[in-house]
Amino acid sequence: STRDGRPFRLAVIGSGPAGFYTAYRAMTRIQNARVDMYEALPVPYGLVRFGVAPDHPEVKNCQEKFEEVASSPNFTFIGNVSIGTKSDHPDGGTIPLASILRHYHAVVFSYGAAKDRTLGIPGEHVKGVYSARQFVGWYNGLPEHANLAPDLTRGDEAVIIGQGNVALDVARMLLEDVDVLRKSDIAEHAIETLSKSKVRRVHIVGRRGPMQAAFTIKEIRELLRLPSVAFHPIDTSLVPQDIKSLPRAPRRLMDILLQDSPTPPTHCSPPTQTKQQKSWSLDFLLSPTAFLPSPADPARLAATKFTRTTLSDPFDPAAYALPTTDADPHTIPSALAFRSVGYQSTPLPEFAPLGIPFSDRHGVISNDGRGRVQHEERAADASMRIGRFPGLYCAGWVKRGPTGVIASTMQDAFSTADAMAEDWADGRVAFLNDKGRDVGGWDGVKGEGMSGVRVVDWEGWRRIDRAERERGARVGKEREKFTRTGDMLAVLG
Ligand code: FAD
């Protein structure tokens, strides 16, 4: 159904995988769909550019698909424009969400998770404690964190709190040979800092055990295979005796960990290594309680303090960690700690005044599971009332929460686009501005006044892309990213 042949005007907020895959699917499922994609940065692709580790170039192949989507005449990229919230870089423009809502039939929120979760323990803000998000953004050239300048020279130990794949990325960046990283599209400033790093020993610390860890096999194997980097054996008592009876994925993971962890359990013993050699460990059953400042310089980290935990059932993947009551805190002295306990989505500031529902508890836009924004309200008679928001959809991390790889984000985006296509085809489901006139899309938004905003269109991004590749070619890498928005815009004259 084309609803009288009128174009279906869709605004997509955010140009990460969720935005691109929703746009792609909407354009194939809805006749005469016109998609305008708004992106706060001058450059597209979200965490594919600013999250995925530089030594994982193959993961970025999805960009080819996104380029194909962007080459459609029905697609418009509107970069360097933040929707509903002040741009976090000085060169960017802002458009109120209310203005977007006036000029489209539907809006897909796919703006990801731009904050990080905190631990809420003392000392979280002393110098030397970084969030994984900041550090990842910094080595990937995210303008927001280009000035992070992490100090990797104050000692030879680093603590990473959290045992997901992002934690392993951070560990790999600290342990990997700088000359290998140099050939990737890692930011130049990161290479400079990493080549001066004194970090030799990395602790990847989790509250639970190996059976509950969030990391996956491929990423663990990659760390284990780093040349001349030693692995400290794990506490094998946390692995079931009979691993053969485990399902395939945990069985393989336990196998890999045990291969490198001789019995009897020797979790305190050093691996065979030379003094200068780098090494890492998975430290289980430790819950952080404080970042301890240095007595000599109270603004600076000296150690991280943990309480030991026990598991409700060490071999149950869903087991929870309980703090032990014994007064036996565990302290890891180090001037450098990263908390890698998850990213977090936040509502756009206009959500509250417009009544658009956001679940603070789950950190997602409230939706029906297929991305239709909806509000659940307990009525006086205790029944749940569902309030729909015509034309509003969400996809990706802001819909499901900040977990999942690009492939799962794609599936999720497809389910949102399919729900939207069904609704549009249905004819009875209400959309925004559904009164028969053409709502204008980007032209309508522009018409409301955009003075002083430098919009980057797709051709503009391609020029920035070419300039980055040329800079890279000069130093033997695929791309040398611009890490300042001013430098990106300078390419466009
Ligand atoms: P994002 O990719 O975050 O995209 C959101 C976009 O919205 C951003 O471009 C942002 O600038 C923009 N935006 C935000 N607010 C606004 C606004 N108000 N107006 C306009 N635009 C806005 N997956 C893999 O498959 N393999 C990996 O190796 C891998 N490594 C990862 C490493 C790290 C450190 C992280 C954090 C994730 C990794 N992932 C990996 C997961 C993958 O990156 C995510 O699944 C995916 O990027 C989520 O897509 P998204 O579109 O929901 O969010």
Instruction: List the residue whose alpha carbon is closest to atom 27 of ligand 1.
Output: 52
Q: Which of 95, 111, 174 most suits a substitution to test ligand 1, by most atoms within 8 Å of the C-beta?
A: 111
Lowest mean pLDDT among 123-127, 294-298, 386-390: 386-390
pLDDT tens digits, one per residue of 337-361: 999 999 999 999 999 999 999 999 9
Confidence check: pLDDT of 275 > 70:
no
Q: Report d(CA 122, CA 158) in Å as an integer.
A: 18
Confidence check: pLDDT of 95 > 80:
yes
What is the whole-number distance in angstroms between the Cα of residue 319 and the centre of ligand 1?
Answer: 29
What is the whole-number distance in angstroms between the Cα of residue 113 and the centre of ligand 1?
Answer: 7
pTM for the model stands at: 0.95
Q: Identify each DSSP E strand in 372-420 by its residue range.
A: 372-378, 384-394
Residues annotated within a binding site for NADP(+): 163-166, 207-208, 219, 404
Question: 32: which DSSP letter?
Answer: T
The whole-number pLDDT of residue 265 equals 45
Q: Which residues contact 472 (CB under 8 A, 6 or more apart)?
A: 185, 478, 479, 480
Confidence check: pLDDT of 398 > 90:
yes
DSSP sequence for 103-148: S-SEEEE-----EE-----TTTTSBTEEEHHHHHHHHTT-GGGTT-
What ipTM does this complex have? Answer: 0.99
Cα dist from 222 to 56, 63, 216, 454, whole Å: 11, 23, 10, 42
Q: Domain 8-114+345-490: which topology?
A: Rossmann fold (3.40.50)
Return the structure tokens found at 299. 């603004």
Tell which residue, 73, 74, 60, 70, has the closest CA to residue 21. 70
Return the structure tokens found at 198. 């004194």
Tell which residue, 368, 488, 363, has the closest CA to residue 91. 488
Pair 456, 469: CB distance under 8 Å? no
What is the whole-number distance in angstroms between the Cα of residue 298 and the centre of ligand 1?
Answer: 36
Tell which residue, 473, 441, 435, 349, has the closest CA to residue 97. 349
Q: Which of 12, 13, 22, 47 most suits a substitution to test ligand 1, by most atoms within 8 Å of the C-beta?
A: 47
The whole-number pLDDT of residue 10 equals 98
What is the whole-number distance in angstroms between the Cα of residue 158 and the centre of ligand 1?
Answer: 26
What is the whole-number distance in angstroms between the Cα of residue 467 and the centre of ligand 1?
Answer: 23
Cα dist from 362 to 215, 238, 306, 350, whole Å: 21, 30, 26, 19
Q: What is the pLDDT averaged over residues 242-260?
A: 91
Q: What is the pLDDT averaged over residues 464-478?
A: 96
pLDDT band at 64 (very low <50, low <70, confident <90, very high): very high
Write the CATH number of the domain with boundaries 117-343. 3.50.50.60
> Residue 3 class from Cβ within 10 Å (0-12 exposed, 13-18 middle, 19+ buried)?
middle
Q: What is the pLDDT averaged over residues 129-138?
A: 97
Q: Which residues contact 275 (CB under 8 A, 6 or more apart)?
A: none
Pair 455, 80: CB distance under 8 Å? yes
The whole-number pLDDT of residue 1 equals 43
Domain ranges of the chain: 8-114+345-490, 117-343
Type of residue numbered 91: D
Q: Answer whether 8-114+345-490 and 117-343 agree in fold.
A: no
Q: Which residues contact 277 (CB under 8 A, 6 or more apart)?
A: 200, 228, 229, 230
The H-assigned helical ranges of 160-272 are 165-175, 178-181, 188-195, 217-224, 248-259
- Lining ligand 1 with CB less than 6 A are 13-19, 38-41, 46-48, 51-52, 56, 59, 82-85, 110-112, 114, 136, 166, 169, 343, 396-397, 404-406, 409
Instruction: List the residue whose alpha carbon is closest to atom 53 of ligand 1.
Output: 112
What is the whole-number distance in angstroms between the Cα of residue 14 and the centre of ligand 1?
Answer: 9
Confidence check: pLDDT of 367 > 80:
yes
pLDDT band at 6 (very low <50, low <70, confident <90, very high): confident
pLDDT band at 378 (very low <50, low <70, confident <90, very high): confident
